[in-house]
Amino acid sequence: MRLLEQRNKLIRVKARLKRDREKVKMFDGSIKLVNKFELDEELHCMREPFTEKFYEQYNSGFEDYIEGRWEEARRKLEKVENIRGAPDGPSLSLLRVMREHNFKAPHDWEGWRDLD
């Protein structure tokens, strides 16, 4: 068991080092984040189950959320689950926040909120 724990720890450390190297490249401009989504094999695999229609609907709903059009955002984000065929964590989180405000953006809404 001890050997397995050491192996898992080594895997986590190597993954952390890889992420740190990638962050440096992104911040110094030698790699563009948008390219990372297109070229990184792990990100590609993670995103594979999601269709273009899913991303279009989510992005449109998220834009409405940021702009304070929360009724529109609600309509679009609720459709995301139907498109995916399963609950979507980020959409559910935004819907929960908007529901707490009866789907009306606060009068001082600036397109962002403090995370709890």
Per-residue pLDDT reduced to its tens digit, 78-99: 999 899 888 899 999 999 999 9
Predicted confidence (pLDDT) per residue in 30-86, tens digit: 766 666 667 778 877 888 888 899 999 999 999 999 999 999 999 999 999 899 888
Domain presence at residue 76: yes
Cβ–Cβ < 8 Å for 73, 94: yes
Domain presence at residue 116: no
Domain presence at residue 110: no
Buried b vs exposed e over 1-10: b needs ≥16 C-beta within 10 Å?
A: eeeeeeeeee
Query: pTM for the complete prediction?
Result: 0.65
Q: Per the structure block, which two tokens stand in for 46?
A: 């993670």
For residues 92 and 60, state if they share a domain: yes
Q: Per the structure block, which two tokens stand in for 55?
A: 């991303």
For residues 17 and 57, state if they share a domain: no
For residues 13 and 42, state if they share a domain: yes
Q: Which residue has the tokens 């609720």?
A: 78
Domain that holds residue 22: 2-47
